Amino acid sequence: MPVMPNLNTRIVDLRYGGGMSLVRGNHPRLSGMWPQYSGLDTGLRKNIVISDVITHDAGVENRKRRGEGRQPGKQEPGADLRGVRQYAQPLSEPAERGVVLFAHDQRRGSVGGQRGLPSRRPVVGRFSERALLAGSLERLCPACTASFKDEDFDAALVGLEVDVLNGGLPHGSVSPAVGIPLSKVGVQIVGFGKRNTAAVELRSEDTDDHAKQPDERRGTWHYGLIEHNALDSGSTFLITTSSAAKRGIDFSMTRYADSAIRLNSDGSRTGISFNEYKGGEIYAEGEALVMRTGALGLSLLTPNGRELFWIGRFGSVRWNGISVPFLVAPLLVILGWLIVSHLRMVRELKELRLHLRTPT
């Protein structure tokens, strides 16, 4: 190239593949390096690719379109960068749906995509939905907009809505033209490369401030995950298909004030089951707790794994490894002997009294 590309250079590159690459700065993509393929054998198709170079002194704008946004400069490792800079590529503010929204029955969407070099917490994509106070938009409000005080302001917010418009067959049906069941998924998260940490993580504005108590944090969530009248009567709320894992649900780091798990149980098959009921179940009937043993019985063990109590499928009982009927049999024999001896003694005493009363 006649000049070394810099942050003020925009290049339209049509050399590679069947798409167009828009590059700002001296990006490796100009040399034919495509970072999205790094370490992967996955094939990707592209149409328009937008690339940027972010340096420590890259310019940002504030709300007044001036370069006064906070700059991190040369930060030490581990420095707190919360709220330092926001970067979007591309930044979309769709006018047809209205970023400045005055209609109460309308939805809007904004998209900001991000990609960064390794850092404390790089973000690949960001979706933001923001509610602005009425006073900040007062001069823009149409005449028909209802007026209210800022302290009364409120707005419904959805950070990301994914609409699945299924015009095909319902789940579980198989088209004869296809021959296999096809899934309909709202959000699919696929991991690549080495082991990842979490598919979904909930955070608040000051999640990393460990000095704060739960009720002191900003932007916390009231529900972590909620299903709102979206399941049919034959559905399953949560399911895993992995053949092996370490834990199902781990609440060991949280102390709950009102039950770690709550169930609305009333009768068999409304509580907790094991091995498709072959291992038994626990449920409630009104205010009574019921435990149904498994097909082969119920076993109660000591902390070291020794059997303390066992109930068999037909009601046989074993205590401390000894069959209760076998243990009771000698006691019954002794009890029977005592009863017979007592009856014999009573009879002999009766005969003796009768003999004493008879005159010689």
pLDDT above 70: residue 114: no
Tell me whether residue 323 is in a domain.
no
Q: Domain total for the chain?
A: 1
Domain hosting 16: range is 1-50
- Residue 63 has a pLDDT of 66
Name the residue among 190, 189, 192, 196 with its Cα closest to residue 39.
192
Tell me whether residue 224 is in a domain.
no
Residue 271: how many other CB atoms lie within 10 Å = 19
In three-state secondary structure terms, 356 is: helix
Tell me whether residue 243 is in a domain.
no
Higher pLDDT, 70 or 187: 187
Locate 186 and state its tokens: 């709202």
pLDDT digits (tens, 9 = 90+) for 308-333: 888 888 777 777 766 666 666 677 77
- Residue 36 has a pLDDT of 64
Tell me whether residue 27 is in a domain.
yes
pLDDT above 70: residue 178: yes
Tell me whether residue 235 is in a domain.
no
Cβ distance 325 to 307 under 8 Å?
no
> Which runs of E-coded beta strand occur in 106-167?
111-113, 125-126
Residue 181, burial from CB neighbour count under 10 angstroms (0-12, 13-18, 19+): exposed
**Distance (Å, whole) CA 88 – CA 81:** 17
Cβ distance 72 to 86 under 8 Å?
no
- The mean pLDDT of 22-26, rounded to a whole number, is 85
pLDDT above 50: residue 99: no
pLDDT above 90: residue 144: no
- Please give the C-alpha separations between residue 298 and each of 93, 121, 188, 309, in angstroms, as whole numbers: 63, 50, 41, 8
Higher pLDDT, 114 or 232: 232
Tell me whether residue 9 is in a domain.
yes
In three-state secondary structure terms, 285 is: strand
pLDDT digits (tens, 9 = 90+) for 51-89: 887 766 666 776 666 655 444 444 444 444 444 455 666
pLDDT band at residue 33 under the 50/70/90 scheme: confident
Compute the mean pLDDT over every residue in the chain, rounded to the nearest whole number. 77
- What's the DSSP call for residue 209? -
In three-state secondary structure terms, 338 is: helix
- What's the DSSP call for residue 146? P
Tell me whether residue 20 is in a domain.
yes
Tell me whether residue 15 is in a domain.
yes
pLDDT band at residue 157 under the 50/70/90 scheme: confident
